[in-house]
Amino acid sequence: MTTRITIRKPDDWHLHVRDGEMLKAVLPYTAKHFGRAILMPNLIPPVRTAADCRAYRERVMAALPAGSKFKPLMTCYLTDDTDPDDVERGFRDGVFAGVKLYPANATTNSAAGVTDYKKVMRVLERMEKIDMPFLMHGEETDPEVDIFDREKAFIDRHLSKWVKQFPGLRFILEHLSSKEGAEYVKSAAPQVGGTITPYHMVLTRNDWFGHGLKPYMYVMPVIKTARDRAALRKAATSGEACYFLGTDSAPHPYSRKVSTNGVPGMFNAPVAIETYAKVFEEEGALDKLEAFAALNGPKHYRMAPNADTITLEKTPWTAPEEVKVAGPDERAIVYRGGETIEWKVVA
């Protein structure tokens, strides 16, 4: 039985670190074990322009623990009015690593997202021309579509067409949550890649509301069935280059999660790489963890893998239940908080 594993330092290809006091409280958890992370732009107000992005990157750098070598990779929040010239300049200047689509009102802080896809076709054309990655929250927002079918509907109605319309554009379908989503990505690889969270590979909707309601498990895309979970586990542990690590760690103040109108998002950075290791071990695929966590993502984004390594060991420890946040935010609930975590990063 393997009890110790050394892999290249992982990257997180989908992460929310927020801003202000929350940023300071949560960023160190990712910076500790990950080389780089794609930072989501869904702040209020969103990170819409290269100028917004430069300013946000400075705030992120200022929040990093002293001596940290962590590198934030920034994204542009696509709106109906995004200027292709600003996107291109931002990409060429190394400010933007990609553009992120939030369909309007699909998830947390997406009100300023795209309301009409016709309005952003010029931006996609430009991205194709300059070979800039397109990151998507891939869910259909038509209120007639059931919440459990939103990912599949987005693929059927939009993504499958865009992939043909823009054959040179590289897509990332983020936080894959369904069997159909995982299968679609493989069928459209290498043009399309997909990230997978730790919690979509561990939980089902029975865990979420089958034995009491767990508000902290409310996320977008919603956690689905055992059939979907099995497909995601198989995909991630397959070693296929189209699947890579994206935690979607998304902290919220406690009062906004535990509320009569709670917000979606789960803070998992404190247990992320450890939980992936547990899943890969359970699937008998620890030998594929490095590809998923540290090689496939950089390949899709056309970057070199990290040179450093991390070592995980089977040494139980207890995850913190919450992380304190200075000021009125107070605290953020941690996924698997209070549980015994099997794997530990030891070097």
Instruction: Please report, as ranges, the residues that interact with ligand NCD according to CB under 6 A.
Output: 16, 42, 107-109, 137, 219-220, 248, 250, 264-265
Residue 137's nearest CA partner among 167, 158, 107, 182 is 107
> Cβ neighbours of residue 221 under 8 Å, at least 6 residues apart?
138, 139, 150, 151, 175, 177, 178
Q: What is the number of the residue whose Cβ is closest to Zn ion?
A: 248
Report in angstroms how near the CB of residue 106 gets to ligand NCD at its nearest: 7
For residue 248, state whether it binds Zn ion (rule: CB under 5 A).
yes
149 is catalytic: no
Q: Which among ligand NCD, Zn ion, none contacts residue 107 (Cβ within 5 to 8 A by kind)?
A: ligand NCD
Report in angstroms how near the CB of residue 107 gets to ligand NCD at its nearest: 3
- Contact of 244 with 10, CB cutoff 8 Å: no
- Contact of 151 with 135, CB cutoff 8 Å: no
Report in angstroms how near the CB of residue 259 gets to Zn ion at its nearest: 19
Question: 11 or 248: whose CB is closer to Zn ion?
Answer: 248
Q: What is the number of the residue whose Cβ is closest to ligand NCD?
A: 265
Residue 100's nearest CA partner among 248, 215, 208 is 248
CA count, 13 A, side-chain hemisphere, 269: 31
Cα gap 292→204, rounded to integer Å = 22
Span near Zn ion by CB under 5 A; candidates 201-209, 244-252, 302-310, 324-332: 244-252
Question: 49 or 108: whose CB is closer to ligand NCD?
Answer: 108
Q: Which among ligand NCD, Zn ion, none contacts residue 264 (Cβ within 5 to 8 A by kind)?
A: ligand NCD
Cα gap 161→157, rounded to integer Å = 7
Helix axis angle for 84-92 and 50-63, nearest 10°, is 40
Give SS3 for 249.
strand
Question: 12 or 248: whose CB is closer to Zn ion?
Answer: 248
Catalytic residue chosen out of the listed positions 248, 287, 308, 329: 248
Site string for Zn ion, 250-269 (x = CB under 5 A): --------------------
Question: 139 or 248: whose CB is closer to Zn ion?
Answer: 248
Question: 7 or 203: whose CB is closer to Zn ion?
Answer: 203
Strands 134-136 and 171-173: parallel
Report in angstroms how near the CB of residue 345 gets to Zn ion at its nearest: 23
Question: 109 or 178: whose CB is closer to ligand NCD?
Answer: 109
Report in angstroms how near the CB of residue 46 gets to Zn ion at its nearest: 13
- Contact of 63 with 23, CB cutoff 8 Å: yes
Local structure of residue 264 (DSSP, 8 states): P
The count of other CB atoms within 10 Å of the CB of residue 228 is 24
Cα gap 237→244, rounded to integer Å = 10
For residue 329, state whether it binds Zn ion (rule: CB under 5 A).
no
For residue 151, state whether it binds Zn ion (rule: CB under 5 A).
no
Token pair 């997406």: residue = 110
Contact footprint for Zn ion (CB under 5 A): 248
Catalytic residues: 248
